[in-house]
Structure 1
Amino acid sequence: MLENWNKPQKPEEAELEERLAVARDKISRQQMLIKEHGLPVLVLFEGWGTAGKGSVLGKVIRNIDPRFFKVATMDVPTEEEKRKPFLYRYFVKIPESGKFMFLDSGWMDEVTGDCLNGKLKETEYKKKIESIKRFERQLTDNGYLVMKFFFQISQKEQKKRLDGLEEDKNTSWRVSEKDSWQNKHYEKCLKVFDRYLNDTNASADPWYLVDAKNKKWAELQVLETLVSGIDTALKNSAMAVPLLQNVFPLEKIPKLEEVSLDKTLTEEEYRKELRELQKKLGELHNKLYRKKVPVIIAYEGWDAAGKGGNIKRITGALDPRGFEVHPIASPEPHEKARHYLWRFWNRLPKTGHIAIFDRTWYGRVMVERLEGFCSENDWQRAYNEINEFEKELSDWGAVIIKFWVQIDKETQLERFTERQNTPEKQWKITEEDWRNRDKWDLYEGAVNEMLQKTNTSYAPWHILESNDKKYARIKALKIVINAIEQALK
């Protein structure tokens, strides 16, 4: 893109000023339309050091109400961020619906920087490119407008700016070692930048190259492109997104009605195995921390199936400093205003820690699907998006264990009735539980489809037969232990 780029023709000064006034006014008016339509806008500024990204960014946001935007400068990852997946620090920055997020540098700068520093091998580079393409496509598929700008200047122009900054003691601090290195190795950087831009250029979120030699001209290019992109996004906001074919390795799994629920344990067997398995899991937790392996345990299942008791037996074996349980309820307003996976990215564990989710991202293809909280296109698309999300976690090195806690309808009724008739357990039963029970067959169909479409080799489902809670607890402990032992090998 950069090597074959034909620069746009810079207009005369009078025309430039006139078009700037129009573009500034347009984006000022568009911010209200963005709010009304709930359009989230993510704007990424990348480019050469001293190309003027910060200067143009400052001018663009002057036209927007400060309540409607945020700006983030993405420096090198912190030690805390390095213990999370590569895209974590970017995903958590995505804007709420109806607002802007401007990023001064981002995932391009991180990846190309690692390439130029020799930290990224070819296979790792390709893996990160795939992650980035999936990340950007998921955002646009879920209604985000993603605008990516690369500020281009020549080697000569960059050298001129660097010299000018260094000559003044009040601005010399702005010249970094990275900027100077870039200029000395301009051709090498150009090739890496050009390859990255070509690798991540997509019709839904293309790269826009900005001739940044003149600051006003650069501002105009950004503003006119931005307002045009917003216009298009507002017109196309109701369009459905084509479904992608599954490319992930799926494993066969039985349907719920095929699972035998007659498995039991005696009290003596249960107590003996519980002690032994919890001791073993506790020892493994220490090894996990030492080897910095993250673990994610996801629980889904019928109401009253015994998820809470099952989780309690897992956590009873763990060091409390090294795990966290996330009970997932209906999304809060600020969570609902973002991509549905955002609140789960925010809850990922650090390396060496364990995150346990009581209800998960699979709500998209169960509750949200059946209760009409999202469109049919949304939940149909989600199977692939979830497989992508879990692949990202697996590539990061996480152990992913997913449990479906299974009981039959009669057992659920018995447990519901007991809860309702026992004062200290009444808090566990709600009208919503009874309503969901009335939709048992619909939910069973949705769960079967979910299991079939997301039972991947890297994040498999395990069905816990929980008519006998003791049996389910022991089975869960054995599965967790086995998965961690395999990872530690």
Structure 2
Amino acid sequence: MFDFESCLKIGKGEYKRMMEPLIIKMGKLQREAKTKKIPVLIILEGLDASGKGAVMNELLMALDPRGYKVYSNNKDTEEELLRPFFWKFWKNLPGEGEIAVFDRSWYFSVIKNLNDMNKKEYKRRCQEIMDTETLLRNGKTSIIKFFLFISKEEQKKRFKKLDKNPSTSWRVTKEDWESNKNYDEILEQYEKLLDNTGNEKGVWNIVCSEDIDSAKVQIFQRTVAFLEKSIEQSGQDTLEMIPLKEKSFSLDSVNLVKSISRREYKKKLKKYKEKLMELEHEIYEKRIPVVLAYEGWDAAGKGGNIKRTVDRLDPRGYDVIPIAAPNDIEKKHHYMWRFWKDFPKGGHITIFDRTWYGRVLVERVEGFCKEEEWHRAYHEINSIESQWSDDGAVILKFWLHISKDEQLRRFKGREKTSYKNWKITEEDWRNREKWDLYKDAVEDMITMTSTENSEWHVIPGNSKRYARLKVMEIIIEELEKALKKREK
């Protein structure tokens, strides 16, 4: 993989002659990619002192600074350490027509944490990387990956040169000298990682950077060819249609008659609120992130349910994220981007009032995405939720179910009540006309995305009191389970 015989050297005159047209071409392709609304992700990985900074600087000088952003993955911040593995990368992904350059990415994060991983965890990370890159490509992000390598002797030479100069000596750390000492081991680790995460669409560009000018030319040449191909194929890619499972769940099986007396409700409500207040403190101490995902029919009682759940909680420990139609910035990104950026840090709770499942509900029913896209979304969502739960998060998903007659009664009640009529819109009535289409979509959603670590809880909601208590019961039970698991 790391073939030193492939290392090339070019003179300054040859370098200038080759680079000038490439720089002009790069700027032109950036503008075309913007016009085509293509998100471009350039990943620069490599050995220490292999010249990533020099390559990146040359690359950025060829681009319009209004159309790119750079993310450097070095030492994790406290904020990043309290989030799932991919959180810091997702929030820095490019939108339509943008270029993001990752100076080290998820690959470096795996390498630097190898000593803390067993074989199972390492294998999981490799699979998550491949799943994430496939998901992004299916979402129209063009990804090109470079790995720069140099010999042990050249690395040592560059460290010494940096160390001798007072203005650059700060860049050489004890860890750098240690990496040179363990050069063969680190190179072998990278070779294994790159081999385990490369595939036909995620091929690695391995570049020898013994001669940095030669490396720059190679990277420019390959990036230009990559962008030309991405622009040429824009809008032509087709997704394979992934078949749905046969439905294993029917909303008709839900017993909507369940109810509870007002007296019993008040008694339990007080008890559950106090218990949730205690648990909020405990999950904070254990740094467990919690996601409560609410979906349901219009007027099913999501807002009232959330209100009772958080009533006694410390507002500094939770956020409620109401999800509406995506804004202009959100539309430019992958549909999961806006949910990743709001993921809670360890010890906090995020409550989503409607969720990423809009992809397989409203976007499916209303035709806002292609059939192939929402078919694929089930697998994508399962993959991401698996990442969250494997990284220690508690994911609780609730579908609040009411009958069509009960919905009509609540709609009419809202229209007649002055302080509630703002809740009812023409869109609500229009959605009601598509009840059967939504019902079919909900049943597919629950069948396809109810997994061992992230199952759906279908809550009978004709009785608001019963639904509120049932949700709180489930939250309490699952948080207690998570705390016991953390103690083991």
TM-score range, shorter chain: over 0.9
**Quick check: 1:472 aligned with 2:467?**
yes
Counterpart residue number, 2:433: 438
Counterpart residue number, 2:339: 344
Q: Give 1:121 shift.
A: 2.5
Distance 2:243 2:172 in 1: 48
Q: Give 1:168 shift.
A: 2.2
Counterpart residue number, 1:94: 93
Counterpart residue number, 1:200: 197
Counterpart residue number, 1:25: 24
Counterpart residue number, 1:175: 172
Contact 1:325–1:358 (CA under 8 A) maintained in structure 2: yes
Distance 2:450 2:138 in 1: 23
The superposition leaves residues 243-272 of structure 1 with CA deviations (integer Å, 9 ceiling, x where unpaired) of 5689xxx99963112212111111111111
The superposition leaves residues 441-479 of structure 1 with CA deviations (integer Å, 9 ceiling, x where unpaired) of 111111111111001111000111111111111111111
Distance 1:149 1:245 in 2: 35
Query: In structure 1, which of residues 481, 484, 487 is the aligned counterpart of residue 482 of structure 2?
Result: 487
Q: For 1:112, what is the secondary structure of its paired residue? A: helix
Query: In structure 2, which of residues 240, 243, 247 is the aligned counterpart of residue 242 of structure 1?
Result: 240
Q: Give 1:331 shift.
A: 0.9
Distance 1:83 1:245 in 2: 37
**Quick check: 1:159 aligned with 2:156?**
yes
**Quick check: 1:283 aligned with 2:278?**
yes
Q: For 1:108, what is the secondary structure of its paired residue? A: helix
**Normalized against structure 2, the TM-score is what?**
0.95
Structure 1: which 5+ runs fail to align?
none
Q: Give 1:5 shift.
A: 6.6
Q: Give 1:138 shift.
A: 1.0
The superposition leaves residues 207-252 of structure 1 with CA deviations (integer Å, 9 ceiling, x where unpaired) of 1111212222111111111111112222223311235689xxx999
Distance 1:183 1:271 in 2: 67
Counterpart residue number, 1:111: 110
**Quick check: 1:299 aligned with 2:297?**
no
Distance 1:462 1:5 in 2: 57
Contact 2:322–2:352 (CA under 8 A) maintained in structure 1: yes
Distance 1:171 1:273 in 2: 65
Q: Give 1:87 shift.
A: 0.9
Q: Give 1:23 shift.
A: 1.6
- Which stretch of the first structure deviates more once superposed, 390-399 or 315-324? 315-324
The superposition leaves residues 131-159 of structure 1 with CA deviations (integer Å, 9 ceiling, x where unpaired) of 21111111111111111111111111111
The 3 A distance-change label for structure 1 pair 37 and 60 is same
User: What is the identity, as a one-letter code, of the residue corresponding to 1:471?
Assistant: Y
Counterpart residue number, 1:61: 60
Q: For 1:147, what is the secondary structure of its paired residue? A: strand
Q: For 1:223, what is the secondary structure of its paired residue? A: helix
Identity %: 42
Counterpart residue number, 1:456: 451
Q: For 2:420, what is the secondary structure of its paired residue? A: helix
Q: Give 1:61 shift.
A: 1.2
User: What is the identity, as a one-letter code, of the residue corresponding to 2:178?
Assistant: W
Q: Give 1:11 shift.
A: 5.8
Distance 2:421 2:307 in 1: 20
The 3 A distance-change label for structure 1 pair 294 and 245 is farther
Structure 2: which 5+ runs fail to align?
none
The superposition leaves residues 87-111 of structure 1 with CA deviations (integer Å, 9 ceiling, x where unpaired) of 1111111011101011111222221
Counterpart residue number, 1:357: 352
Counterpart residue number, 2:365: 370
Contact 1:253–1:455 (CA under 8 A) maintained in structure 2: no
User: What is the identity, as a one-letter code, of the residue corresponding to 2:349?
Assistant: I
Distance 1:165 1:348 in 2: 40
User: What is the identity, as a one-letter code, of the residue corresponding to 2:319?
Assistant: E
Counterpart residue number, 1:272: 267
Distance 1:343 1:273 in 2: 36
Counterpart residue number, 1:130: 127
User: What is the identity, as a one-letter code, of the residue corresponding to 1:419?
Assistant: R
Q: Give 1:13 shift.
A: 5.8
Distance 2:29 2:9 in 1: 25
Distance 2:5 2:260 in 1: 74
Counterpart residue number, 1:218: 215
Q: Give 1:170 shift.
A: 2.5
The superposition leaves residues 138-190 of structure 1 with CA deviations (integer Å, 9 ceiling, x where unpaired) of 11111111111111111111111112222222322222222211111111111
Counterpart residue number, 1:79: 78
Distance 1:288 1:155 in 2: 46
Distance 2:316 2:167 in 1: 47
**Normalized against structure 1, the TM-score is what?**
0.95
Counterpart residue number, 1:121: 118
Distance 2:269 2:195 in 1: 55
Contact 1:7–1:211 (CA under 8 A) maintained in structure 2: yes
Q: Give 1:9 shift.
A: 4.8
Distance 1:300 1:165 in 2: 56
Query: In structure 1, which of residues 397, 402, 409 is the aligned counterpart of residue 404 of structure 2?
Result: 409
Q: Give 1:17 shift.
A: 3.4
Consecutive aligned runs of 4 or more in structure 1 exceeding 4 Å deviation: 8-16, 243-246, 250-253
Distance 2:13 2:285 in 1: 65
Q: For 2:201, what is the secondary structure of its paired residue? A: coil
Distance 2:392 2:410 in 1: 39
Distance 1:94 1:292 in 2: 26
Q: For 1:352, what is the secondary structure of its paired residue? A: coil
User: What is the identity, as a one-letter code, of the residue corresponding to 2:167?
Assistant: N
